[in-house]
Structure 1
Amino acid sequence: MRIISGKFKGRRISPPKGLPVRPTTDMSKEALFNVLNNHFSFEGLKILDLFAGTGNISYEFASRGSTPITSVDGDFGCVKFIKKTAEEYDFNIAALKSDVFKFLERNNATYDIIFADPPYNFDQKTFEKIVTIIFERNSLNEDGMMVIEHSKYTKLDHMMNFSFMKSYGGSIFSFFELNNGEKEVDNENEDIEDEEE
């Protein structure tokens, strides 16, 4: 796992073995941030990383100057590793051990970008619940964006505030924005080969 851009570009981060994670591959991550780079200047963005796992996505935002970053995961080992890495690199990342749904239900903060990478084996309704809670709780800032990573077997393009999707290998990124009634919906798909690390 490596940081692909920003202050710590090229830096490799090696999480301990045995963590219950499926990290976003470097190629998918690079493609994701290329999309986000067309919408945002990362410096100072407030980020929420849900099902954060190893912290892979959080470190990428931190390397690009986003702050503060909140990383939420239910696994103690993952949270411990994120805290250790954040301290090592002086990243402004608050790693919280919590059930993601409980966190969202009680969260009152708002964010510029919310990224969620739930287990691919969650059922359709569980993925939909993530979208519903975030928008019912008004967790996204007005000009913000939410991204959910999922497999091709999960469909989210019917959900509220869906904007567009991108396909990279076996991963799909669904993007959500607060619709103002004037924005055109871009159901753009892009297929590229993805590689496992």
Structure 2
Amino acid sequence: MRIIAGKYRGRPLAALGKGDAAAHLRPTSDRVRESLFSMLTHHDVIENARVLDLFAGTGALGFEALSRGAQSVCFIENGRTGQKLIAENIAKLQTEADSKLLRHDATKLSPNPQAAFDLVFMDPPYGKSLGQKALAVVASGNWLAPDTLIVWEESTPMHAPEGFTKVDTRKYGDTHVTLLRNTPS
């Protein structure tokens, strides 16, 4: 796994190796990341964005955003294997100044005491409704700026819950990517 474009282009990320069978890590493939970031570039949401990477896994999506001009990224990951890989990648890419790893469950976050985020990546374990729970938590906890773009990866297309509008949906093999915008009342 490597960074596809931007200032870290071609830099390898920490090897997943055998990983932890219980971790269920399935990093977004290079092909899907390339297509996804092409779409995000078209929507002009990466440059100077504050990025929240929920269910971050290896952190590949957040690091790709940093490489392409995001201001900062906050990784939320509760699995030990994922936490270890993200910490290795922060050190490997030397992004300590603009990366933060929170070792929490994305479905049980406390309210955010800092500035809200402009771009959110959500890649929860498929088919367990964890994305819906995490989205409700961040929407009610000051994690989302007005008009935040949410990138949600799942095994099926996701419906826009109340307070969100579907912007786009794409299918890449067994991965469905749904783009949502929060539309707070």
TM normalised by structure 1 equals 0.80
Query: Does residue 132 in structure 1 map to residue 136 in structure 2?
Result: yes
**In 2 relative to 1, CA 95–16 (structure 1 residues): closer, same or farther, beyond 3 Å?**
farther
Query: Does residue 162 in structure 1 map to residue 169 in structure 2?
Result: no
Match of residue 148, structure 2, among 144, 149, 152: 144
2:52, 2:119 within 8 Å by CA — same for their partners in 1? yes
The aligned counterpart of 1:106 is: 111
Percent identity of paired positions between Structure 1 and Structure 2 = 30
- Larger mean Cα displacement after TM superposition, 12-21 or 84-93: 12-21
The aligned counterpart of 2:43 is: 39
Give the aligned residue type for 2:89: T
- Cα distance in structure 2, aligned partners of 1:108 and 1:151: 32
* Unaligned stretches of 5+ residues in structure 2: none
TM normalised by structure 2 equals 0.85
- Larger mean Cα displacement after TM superposition, 88-97 or 28-37: 88-97
Q: State the aligned residue count.
A: 176
Give the aligned residue type for 1:43: E
Cα displacement (A) at 1:151: 0.3
* Unaligned stretches of 5+ residues in structure 1: 182-197
Equivalent residue runs for 1:10-159 within 5 Å: 10-13=10-13, 14-19=15-20, 20=23, 21-40=25-44, 42-91=46-95, 92-103=98-109, 105-109=110-114, 110-123=116-129, 126-152=130-156, 155-159=157-161
- Cα distance in structure 1, aligned partners of 2:88 and 2:39: 29
Deviations 1:16-59 (A, max 9, x none): 43142011111111111111101125332100001101111111
Deviations 1:64-103 (A, max 9, x none): 1212210011112321221222122122211121111222
Over the aligned positions, Cα root-mean-square deviation in angstroms equals 2.0
- Cα distance in structure 2, aligned partners of 1:70 and 1:158: 23
Structure 1 segments of 4+ aligned residues over 4 angstroms from their partners: none
